[in-house]
Structure 1
Amino acid sequence: MKITVLGVGGMGSRFALMLHQGGNDVTLVDGWQANIDAIRKDGIQANFNGKPVSAKMPIYSPAEIDQSGVKADLIVVFLKSNQLDAMFKRVQPIIHKDTYVLCLLNGIGHEDVLSKYVAKDHLLLGITMWTAGMTGPGHVELSGDGEVELENFEPAGEAFAKQVVSVFEGAGLNPKYSHDVKYSIWRKACVNGTLNCLCALLDCNIGEFGKTKQAPELLHTIIDEFAAVADKEGVNLDTEEVYNHVAATFTSDIAGHYPSMHQDLVQNHRLTEIEFIDGAVARKGEQYGIATPYCKLLTQMVHVKEQLVGAK
């Protein structure tokens, strides 16, 4: 399959590398020039479960797409949520009538942006529980195991979605075709809405946060806010199951992992996707008349920290 990966950070690099190793024709698009230069010179360089792995794939900046001649069967999106609209305006030349888009971003509401650029029956949504971290331009740390869950946004996309599942199986990405991906997206948003912002604000990894006395109450309160808003969106979250799902990470093989928002904000001083996670819950809560004080405060605190570190 001809696959274009948009956003070649840690997770984009993981999927690109594994899909390339699975025999697919993979093209990369990224907006960070230092990353583009490094990958063009030496390929993606990965510490893959303790073993050095590298692979060269064509990579372009958004400005180069128009001249690239690339056409994609599938575009896999690993951008930051706040980059989504601007990037799709730039990469329209690679989208044709048979192109599908798979969005695996953290957060809620991305289909509202993507439906401006691709027909809804060519849109796939999903989540991934893989982890990845960047150590520098073109260099990533890939450890542990993971999975992908995806579903077509409309019934007409089911056949292609199942074809993607088969391709991902061949790449070792442990995919699953979902029959209720909206529930899974909200469930994953609870992970991001707790661990991502809290670890970024407290400058700690998942396991360190989990050892604090306050962790259980914080998780329960934030998850309850997510669940109250999700219910208005037709998603009935099992709050105790979601809590156990999040808390299980404290002693898992990813306990030492610094979530992506920590990598962005603390390590690299980049703007975060908080507005598509806790910020989205706070905004929707206002619309539905539901109080979400923790989500609102966390959103404000992350924005304050963005300003303090000069995030761009």
Structure 2
Amino acid sequence: MKFTVVGAGAMGLRYGVLLQQAGNEVEFVDAWEPHVNKMKEQGGVYVTRDKENRHLVPVKVYTPEEYHNTDSDVVIFFLKQMQLGEMLERCSHFFTDKQYALTGMNGMGHIEKLLKYFKPEKVLAGTALVATILKAPGEVDFVGKPGAGSMNLANYTEKPDEMTHKVVAELEKANINPTLTTNFRGTLMAKVVFNSVVNTLCTLFEITMGEYANFEKADELSRALIDEAYDVCERDGVKMLQTREEELATVNYVSKVANPLHYPSMYQDMSKNRPTEVDYINGYLVKLGRKHNYEAKTHAFLTNLVHLAEHTRQERLREK
């Protein structure tokens, strides 16, 4: 099978490299020219796993304007929510009505944009429960042992077809550990709720997931955010994949066992003075609640705190 990965950042590289190593043809498209140029210069991307065994993996990488191949079976999208709209426009010349779109992006807002370019029955979306770090242009670190992490995904139409099962089979061969569901919104919202707890709190206090989970009042904080998020989802008719208690257990397992030393992606953005995706995570829950006259006050408070932290960092940079 042939895949084109749009967004050769941390997660795009992890999925693309693993699919390539599983025997698929994979090409990468990215808009960050220093990153693209570095990979071209060195003949691929340097990959480490938990900061060890650095080795070069050959990859084919292009800017959107350089790429004109239209023979991909699946286009994979891993971008920041605020980058997607522009990137779709820049890449639209190589989209066809035969292609499937697959995404595991954080937050919400991307599906509506993808549906402008891909047929509803050919949109597959889900949640990537694995940590990866883009260390520098041309350098990526896979967190966790081979086979670490998992993915839940579903068809937009909630009707898996033959091609869907073929995609899932390739993800299985690549050790990405996919689980196919027929609950589209519930699948996506599970990661939104998870990120609304761990990503946001770890970012605000500049701590790892393990440091957060080991705080004696962590469960109390997590429960408050999970309960409010589930209240929003229930009002909007979303059937969640897990109960509230199961969601809390997932937060604890991923934070304490799977990735205790990991700083979430929102923290990585904040620490590098990039805009965060908080409006597409906690902020999304706030907006969804207001549609039903429900105020998700804790999520609104955290959204504003993240923006305050962003503002403060920018002001300090301007003063230097």
Task: State the TM-score, normalizing by the size of structure 2.
Answer: 0.91
Task: Give the secondary structure class of the aligned counterpart of 1:310.
Answer: helix
What is the aligned partner in structure 2 of residue 284 from structure 1? 288
Return the alpha-carbon distance in structure 1 between the equivalents of residues 302 and 66 of structure 2: 37
TM-aligned CA deviation for residue 157 of structure 1:
5.1
Give per-residue Cα distances to partners, 1:126-145, cap 9 Å, x unaligned: 11112101211111111310
TM-aligned CA deviation for residue 48 of structure 1:
2.5
What is the aligned partner in structure 2 of residue 44 from structure 1? 45
TM-aligned CA deviation for residue 233 of structure 1:
2.5
Give per-residue Cα distances to partners, 1:47-71, cap 9 Å, x unaligned: 1253223222221222333xx3354
Of 36, 41, 53, the match for 2:55: 53
Return the alpha-carbon distance in structure 1 between the equivalents of residues 254 and 152 of structure 2: 18
Of 291, 298, 304, the match for 2:302: 298
What is the aligned partner in structure 2 of residue 248 from structure 1? 253
Q: 1:184 to 1:154 in 2, by over 3 A?
A: closer
4+ residue segments displaced more than 4 Å:
none
TM-aligned CA deviation for residue 296 of structure 1:
0.7
User: Which letter maps to 2:64?
Assistant: P
TM-aligned CA deviation for residue 249 of structure 1:
2.6
What is the aligned partner in structure 2 of residue 264 from structure 1? 269
Return the alpha-carbon distance in structure 2 between the equivalents of residues 120 and 64 of structure 1: 27
Return the alpha-carbon distance in structure 1 between the equivalents of residues 192 and 13 of structure 2: 22
Return the alpha-carbon distance in structure 1 between the equivalents of residues 112 and 264 of structure 2: 25
Q: 1:51 to 1:295 in 2, by over 3 A?
A: same
Return the alpha-carbon distance in structure 1 between the equivalents of residues 131 and 100 of structure 2: 24
2:278 is aligned with 1:274? yes
TM-aligned CA deviation for residue 156 of structure 1:
5.8
What is the aligned partner in structure 2 of residue 159 from structure 1? 162
Structure 2: gaps of 5 or more residues: 316-320
Task: Give the secondary structure class of the aligned counterpart of 1:62.
Answer: coil
Q: 1:157 to 1:84 in 2, by over 3 A?
A: farther
Number of residues paired by the alignment?
Answer: 308
TM-aligned CA deviation for residue 185 of structure 1:
1.8
What is the aligned partner in structure 2 of residue 74 from structure 1? 74
User: Which letter maps to 2:251?
Assistant: V
Return the alpha-carbon distance in structure 1 between the equivalents of residues 100 and 235 of structure 2: 29
Q: Percent identity?
A: 30
Return the alpha-carbon distance in structure 2 between the equivalents of residues 157 and 245 of structure 1: 26
Task: Give the secondary structure class of the aligned counterpart of 2:170.
Answer: helix
1:1-312 aligned at under 5 Å gives the runs 1-42=1-42, 43-49=44-50, 50-65=52-67, 68-144=68-144, 145-154=148-157, 158-237=161-240, 238-266=243-271, 268-310=272-314
Structure 1: gaps of 5 or more residues: none
Task: State the TM-score, normalizing by the size of structure 1.
Answer: 0.93
CA contact (8 A) 1:122 1:157 kept: no
Return the alpha-carbon distance in structure 1 between the equivalents of residues 95 and 160 of structure 2: 16
Task: Give the secondary structure class of the aligned counterpart of 1:75.
Answer: strand
CA contact (8 A) 1:33 1:61 kept: yes
Task: Give the secondary structure class of the aligned counterpart of 1:96.
Answer: coil
CA contact (8 A) 1:77 1:103 kept: yes
TM-aligned CA deviation for residue 109 of structure 1:
3.8
TM-aligned CA deviation for residue 110 of structure 1:
2.4
Task: Give the secondary structure class of the aligned counterpart of 1:275.
Answer: helix
Return the alpha-carbon distance in structure 1 between the equivalents of residues 108 and 244 of structure 2: 18
User: Which letter maps to 1:7?
Assistant: G
Return the alpha-carbon distance in structure 2 between the equivalents of residues 57 and 70 of structure 1: 18
What is the RMSD of the two structures over their aligned residues, measured on CA atoms?
A: 1.7
Return the alpha-carbon distance in structure 1 between the equivalents of residues 65 and 283 of structure 2: 30
CA contact (8 A) 2:183 2:239 kept: no
CA contact (8 A) 1:17 1:44 kept: no
TM-aligned CA deviation for residue 75 of structure 1:
0.9
Give per-residue Cα distances to partners, 1:102-136, cap 9 Å, x unaligned: 12111234221211111111111111112101211
User: Which letter maps to 1:309?
Assistant: R
CA contact (8 A) 1:71 1:95 kept: no
Task: Give the secondary structure class of the aligned counterpart of 1:309.
Answer: helix
User: Which letter maps to 2:264?
Assistant: P
